[in-house]
Amino acid sequence: MLNPSPPKFLPVPRKFEPLPGHVDTSAFQTLADLEKIAVPGDFRGSEAYRLELSDRRKRLEIGGKSALRHAWAHLRQWQGADPAHTPCGILEDEPRFARRGFMLDVSRCKVPTREGLARWVNLLAAFRFNELQLYTEHTFAYSKHPRFWEEASPITPDDIKWLQALCAEKGIELVPNQNCFGHFERWLCHPEYRKYAECPDGFETPWGEWRSVGSVLRPDQASFELVQGLLDELLPNFTANRVNIGCDETFELGQGKSKARCEREGMGSVYADFVARIMRHVIQTHGRRPEFWGDILVKHPDQLHKIPREAIALEWGYEAGHPFETHGKLFADSGLEFAVCPGTSSWQSFGGRTENMLQNIREAVQSGMQNQASGLLLTDWGDRGHLQVPEVSFPALAWAGLCAWNPDSAKTDDAWRWCDLEAFDGEAGATEKWLDLGRVSDVTGNFPNNASAIFKMFRGESLEVSPEKIGEALEFLEGLPCPETGADVWRQTARNLKLGLVRGQRAKVGKLDETELLAEAKAEHRRLWNLENRPGGLQESLGNYDFRSMA
């Protein structure tokens, strides 16, 4: 049977011109077969390509070798079920963002096994990402600092060598990532390392919470030498010419050891001086371009001139309505290259925050185009024990991949069809079922930042949610059908959501015993964890199930 027309491509190419007739493409059974007809093309980007299939010729023009994989993916869709009668046509395509990255948090308890990492890499390749970062605070096996990772089942140099080779096979660059200023609480909690702390005896967060362990390094020579040593050991394991040095959320800077200096010189100046020093070491000693989270310097734009021009700002924000456009323009006007960094909205939610995820990614991409961002880095965090399963983030991968490749034609229905094909073994509608889990919390009518209302109730926080709304959310949850693919992880996600709602209802009306539900959730969390994650961090993660403050 002849194909009446080409299939619906995923992603939609920039141009497709149908031509009369059909052509036999059954000789193209592997990427190597396609490579035989590839020739250099006159393209600006290395991922651009032009594939012509007609009665005149079969020809593939490519901007670089990385274009081959994308052209092959489109050809397989084009061939359909009958390659011997492939519709003739000319397809031209290239990505809107040259850089399409994904950052996975491996510092909040959960460090994937090699099998778990391979699963992420395969999905990233399917959704046309070309960069992976593993967010690291204490989970790389630094030879001089075993105290911090000995119970964390860390990433080792051998793991990096293996992962880098796998990524290269898939057209993905593995970029090193080590936070170098803030988020050092895993280090500073040990007495022998408190000498590096800005606030060794604790500090008050911007939202009024007291923390007994500091999280920020004091910006002095000793701290610089500590960071220098980490980078000197980490970077030789990677071939990428960039490194993410983090430096975000330096909450207590100026409250402790650097208080007098910050009062004298200004906190923004002190921050920029220390960060710029780390950057110069990265540039001069290792020949790498430093990336840094931009949340501090958007508040101190007068200090951006101190940042080396080789640096790349990472403009992150995870809520719908985040000012990507304003912040992006600030970095663009300063002359710094920057990337937009939305999130999967999976963390502190169990089932995700579907509507927030959709809007957050779309807004990041749109503002990135307006301000000429060099790329997109989608982030996936694990706050509060990394209790969400990876599947919750898969729809965000598909949506971000579609938006970053061809934002003008990106449609959610296409993203969910793509996700079904690549992440859920082709099961139609599976993605929508996962997305519905991310809508359960919306029924409560409460929308906190950086978390779902259900997760906060799970944590024992008191929210303005009526018993009636909690009941409606429970009814909505229990009415959702379970997909066939990934049924166990879907049921565990639903179980966690139910546990959060039961705790919320108990806090409101003083009933509903959670004992059996809690035991089931913890047991299944342990079982699923051990399938694709290393044992370090499991006990700490399980401890989050027992956090309750209600009577």
**Same structural domain, 426 and 436:** no
Domain finish residue from 93, 122, 146: 93
Q: Is residue 4 part of a domain?
A: no
What CATH number does the domain containing 61 carry?
Answer: 3.30.379.10
The answer to whether the CB of 344 falls within 8 A of the CB of 393 is: yes
Where does residue 212 rank: exposed (0-12), middle (13-18), buried (19+ CB within 10 A)? exposed
Give 35-52 pLDDT, tens digit per residue: 999 999 999 999 999 999
**Same structural domain, 160 and 204:** yes
**Same structural domain, 408 and 477:** no
Kindly report the backbone phi and psi dihedral angles of residue 138, in degrees, each rounded to the nearest multiple of 5, phi listed first: -140, 15
Say what the pTM is.
0.97
Domain finish residue from 409, 430, 451: 430
Q: Is residue 48 part of a domain?
A: yes
**Same structural domain, 261 and 361:** yes
Indicate if the alpha-carbon torsion angle 350, 351, 357, 359 is positive or negative. negative
Q: Is residue 9 part of a domain?
A: no
Considering only CA atoms, give the Rg of the chain: 25
Q: Is residue 409 part of a domain?
A: yes
The C-alpha atoms of residue 113 and residue 497 are separated, in whole angstroms, by 26
**Same structural domain, 462 and 423:** no
What pLDDT does 548 receive?
Answer: 57
Give 326-354 pLDDT, tens digit per residue: 999 999 999 999 999 999 999 999 999 99
Residue 282 tokens read as: 């990265």
Q: What is the DSSP code (8-state) at residue 13?
A: P
7 pLDDT higher than 80: no
What CATH number does the domain containing 114 carry?
Answer: 3.20.20.80
The C-alpha atoms of residue 91 and residue 10 are separated, in whole angstroms, by 13
Q: What ranges in 371-466 are assigned the alpha helix state H?
A: 394-405, 412-423, 430-437, 453-458
| Enclosing H/E stretch for 518 | helix 515-532
Q: What ranges in 170-216 are assigned the alpha helix state H?
A: 185-188
**Same structural domain, 240 and 384:** yes
Q: Please tell me whether residue 65 adopts helix, strand or coil conformation.
A: coil
The C-alpha atoms of residue 127 and residue 398 are separated, in whole angstroms, by 6
The three state secondary structure string of 439-479 is: CCHHHHCCCCCCCCHHHHHHCCCCCCCCHHHHHHHHHHHHC
Using pLDDT thresholds of 50, 70 and 90, give the confidence band for residue 495. Answer: very high
The C-alpha atoms of residue 376 and residue 364 are separated, in whole angstroms, by 8
Residue 444 tokens read as: 């409560």
Using pLDDT thresholds of 50, 70 and 90, give the confidence band for residue 549. Answer: very low
Q: Is residue 153 part of a domain?
A: yes
- Total number of domains constituting the chain: 3
**Same structural domain, 62 and 122:** no
5 pLDDT higher than 70: no
Give 98-120 pLDDT, tens digit per residue: 999 999 999 999 999 999 999 99
Domain hosting residue 461, numbered range: 431-546
User: Residues near 515 by Cβ (< 8 Å), separated by ≥ 6?
Assistant: none
Q: Is residue 410 part of a domain?
A: yes
Indicate if the alpha-carbon torsion angle 105, 535, 176, 275 is positive or negative. positive
DSSP bridge pairs for 193: none
Of 2-6, 339-343, 530-534, least confident by mean pLDDT is: 2-6
Strands (E), 272-426: 289-293, 312-316, 337-341, 375-380
Domain finish residue from 430, 465, 488: 430
Across 371-388, average pLDDT: 98
**Same structural domain, 307 and 439:** no
**Same structural domain, 394 and 536:** no
**Same structural domain, 53 and 24:** yes
Q: Is residue 6 part of a domain?
A: no
**Same structural domain, 376 and 450:** no
Q: Measuring CA to CA, which residue among 191, 190, 252 is closest to residue 218? A: 252
**Same structural domain, 77 and 110:** no
The answer to whether the CB of 229 falls within 8 A of the CB of 222 is: no
| Token pair 């090193």 in the structure block, residue | 176
The C-alpha atoms of residue 378 and residue 124 are separated, in whole angstroms, by 11
Q: Is residue 10 part of a domain?
A: no
Across 135-139, average pLDDT: 98
